[in-house]
A and B are shown apart, each in its own frame.
Chain A
Amino acid sequence: MSLGILYVNLGLLGKRKKERIFPPKLELVKIGKGVGALPEILSVSQVTLQIKRLLENEQALQQVWVSGEISNFTLHSSGHMYFTLKDEASRLRAVMFRRENQWLKFRPYDGLEVVVCGRIGVYPKNGEYQLYVDLMEAAGMGSLYLAFEQLKERLAQEGLFAPERKKPLPRLPRKIGVITSPTGAAVRDIIKILRRRHARVDILVIPAQVQGDTAPASLVAALQAAGSLRDLDLVIIGRGGGSAEELWAFNDEGVARAIAACPHPVISAVGHETDFTIADLVADLRAPTPSGAAELSVPEINELRNQIKLYADNLHALFSRVCAQKRAQSDRLSFHPALQHPDRLILTRRQQVDEGKEELVRQMKVALQERRKDLQQKMEQLDMLSPLAVLNRGYSICFRDTDGKLVREAAEVDHGDVLRITFRRGQLRTKVEEVKKDVTTWAKK
């Protein structure tokens, strides 16, 4: 682009001797041969200076309003802003120095449509013309709105609005700091309502400017003073209604940070119900108006007294109930049948014993019967094996009478011995008449 400009301007400069400038190469050859009048030879700096003068003397370009879209925006570490303004057909280099851009409420960015005011100048070092911007306004939504949105987003990302940062408000503050103009309507409203709700709350008015260029610094100083006072329980910061510009100090970043840094809980109360400021977002509680802040900050003292009285009554009632319950419990126990008729308890036990005894006898009988049956069987078995059974079959048994020894063989007795012979029924005593020792059995005799 700078090259194009150079051509155009060379064209302007070379009106007199156009043919000597185009083509430059041909011109040089002519000079070299020393033909004709000696041409005026300009250094690059001289040409550039001429261009600079030409452009910068053009009144129409020395205060020009330009609308366009920002591109290639860079914020240099020096604080200067460099960017290009463009539309569908053209581009214009632009710079906004720190001295000017420090008043910008929003931060420009690529793609933002702006209207700027400035002057066209030439930067000799690059051979570039550019727009030196003095003022910039965001087109469309408006600069204030844009600044508000940008600061809001930045602080939100830092977490300054996070619910977990919010400090709980004391239920019964003893001393409240009120940061506002001491001459405004807000301070009057706040004091009036605080008094009405809680006649004895202490109020410390911390004076601050609430509009104008110095308001942010004044509000920050007041917040710091409030923070340094240990005996404050709560801080209200605010002002009455006004235009967006008048409320602007409450959208200041420094004020927002001072609110966040305040060790006391802070209620914001800026303008009317519909006004929303950055201070509202960072405060621990947003009140719709200064009067609203006063109402939110202290309880209706009489309500609170009533509540405490209610609690005390409740306590008495509950304790009476507990006493009644315990009495009923102890009554119930003392009328328990076990305590009233201890003999019944014994009777019951006795009955149980009796029942147990009967059962025992019954069981015993059964057991005995079984044993008896068993014995019978055993006796029958025994009977089968008994020598008496042999006698039943017709045999008899012979004992020597002298010593009772069982006689198994004839040789065991002698002639004249007395024997006892036992039959199935009855016995005989008999004397031996003859002994036949060699006879084995009677049957074979």
Chain B
Amino acid sequence: MGEKITEKTFEEALARLEFIIGELEKGELNLDESLKLFEEGIGLARHCNAKLDEAQGRVELLLGTEDGVAKTTPFQPEEE
């Protein structure tokens, strides 16, 4: 709860979102709590969508590693 939404991994954010929906479904919360969770949930959904756009779609071939840093070159698989 304490950590910021933007620091969450995709899995954490999605799991939290699922949890929040579950809590709201139970309908046992007071209005203030519901509003708080609703706002957090909307933030999480937004964050999840941002995560989906995060990767850049690069394809590279590893040439070697040096101290955990990869030396790479763009890679294009041979056609059939």
Q: Do A and B bind each other?
A: yes
Q: Interface on A for B, CB 8 Å cutoff?
A: 170-172, 174-175, 177, 182-183, 185, 187-188, 191, 195, 198-207, 225, 228-230, 301, 304-305, 308-309, 311-312, 314-316, 318-319, 321-323, 325-326
Q: How far is the CB of B14 from chain A (nearest CB, A)?
A: 7
Q: Residue on B with the closest CB to A192? A: B77
Q: With A170-B11, A183-B78, A311-B45 known to touch, is A318 a contact of B62 (CB < 8 Å)?
A: no
Q: How far is the CB of A96 from chain B (nearest CB, A)?
A: 40
**Sampled A-B contacts (28; CB under 8 Å):** A170-B10, A170-B11, A172-B52, A182-B75, A200-B52, A200-B53, A202-B55, A202-B60, A203-B59, A204-B62, A204-B72, A206-B62, A207-B61, A301-B52, A305-B52, A308-B45, A308-B48, A311-B17, A311-B45, A315-B17, A315-B38, A318-B21, A318-B24, A318-B25, A321-B24, A321-B27, A322-B27, A322-B34
Give Cα A171 to B57, complex, Å.
17
Q: Residue on B with the closest CB to A299? A: B52
Most buried by B among A175, A228, A318, A321: A318
Q: Are A322 and B57 in contact (CB under 8 A)?
A: no
Q: With A170-B11, A322-B31, A323-B31 known to touch, is A315 a contact of B75 (CB < 8 Å)?
A: no
Give Cα A306 to B36, complex, Å.
24
Q: How far is the CB of A4 from chain B (nearest CB, A)?
A: 63
Q: Are B55 and A200 in contact (CB under 8 A)?
A: yes
10 closest cross-chain pairs (CB), A and B: A318-B24, A319-B38, A188-B77, A312-B45, A172-B10, A200-B55, A200-B57, A322-B34, A315-B41, A203-B59
Q: Are A230 and B68 in contact (CB under 8 A)?
A: yes
- Check B5 for interface membership: any CB of A closer than 8 A: no
Q: Residue on A with the closest CB to B69? A: A229
Q: A206 to chain B: which residues have CB within 8 Å? A: 62
Give Cα A201 to B54, complex, Å.
9
Give Cα A301 to B61, complex, Å.
24
Give Cα A368 to B27, complex, Å.
62
Q: Mark B62-80, 1 if CB is under 8 A from A, else 0.
A: 1011001010100101111
Q: Residue on A with the closest CB to B66? A: A228
Give Cα A204 to B74, complex, Å.
9
Q: Residue on B with the closest CB to A230? A: B68
Q: Are B14 and A171 in contact (CB under 8 A)?
A: yes
B54: which of A174, A229, A314 is its contact (CB, 8 Å)? A174
Most buried by B among A200, A205, A315, A319: A315
Give Cα A309 to B17, complex, Å.
11
Q: B65 to chain A: which residues have CB within 8 Å? A: 225, 228-229
Q: Size class of B's contact patch?
A: 35 or more
Give Cα A207 to B77, complex, Å.
12
Q: Are A191 and B31 in contact (CB under 8 A)?
A: no
Give Cα A249 to B22, complex, Å.
47
Q: Are A201 and B57 in contact (CB under 8 A)?
A: yes
Q: A305 to chain B: which residues have CB within 8 Å? A: 49, 52
Q: Residue on A with the closest CB to B79? A: A188
Q: B51 to chain A: which residues have CB within 8 Å? A: 172
Give Cα A177 to B60, complex, Å.
10
Q: B21 to chain A: which residues have CB within 8 Å? A: 311, 314-315, 318
Give Cα A175 to B56, complex, Å.
9
- Check B4 for interface membership: any CB of A closer than 8 A: no
Q: With A200-B53, A322-B34 known to touch, is A205 a contact of B27 (CB < 8 Å)?
A: no
Q: A172 to chain B: which residues have CB within 8 Å? A: 10-11, 51-52
Q: How far is the CB of A181 from chain B (nearest CB, A)?
A: 11
A205: which of B9, B54, B62 is its contact (CB, 8 Å)? B62
Give Cα A200 to B54, complex, Å.
8
Q: B20 to chain A: which residues have CB within 8 Å? A: 315
Given A225-B62, A225-B65, 18 more A-B residue pairs with CB atoms under 8 Å apart are A170-B10, A170-B11, A175-B55, A185-B80, A188-B77, A188-B78, A200-B54, A200-B57, A202-B59, A205-B75, A225-B64, A311-B18, A311-B41, A311-B45, A314-B21, A318-B25, A319-B38, A322-B27
Q: B10 to chain A: which residues have CB within 8 Å? A: 170-172
Q: B27 to chain A: which residues have CB within 8 Å? A: 321-322, 325
Q: With A172-B52, A318-B25 known to touch, is A203 a contact of B60 (CB < 8 Å)?
A: yes
Give Cα A183 to B38, complex, Å.
50
Give Cα A80 to B68, complex, Å.
41
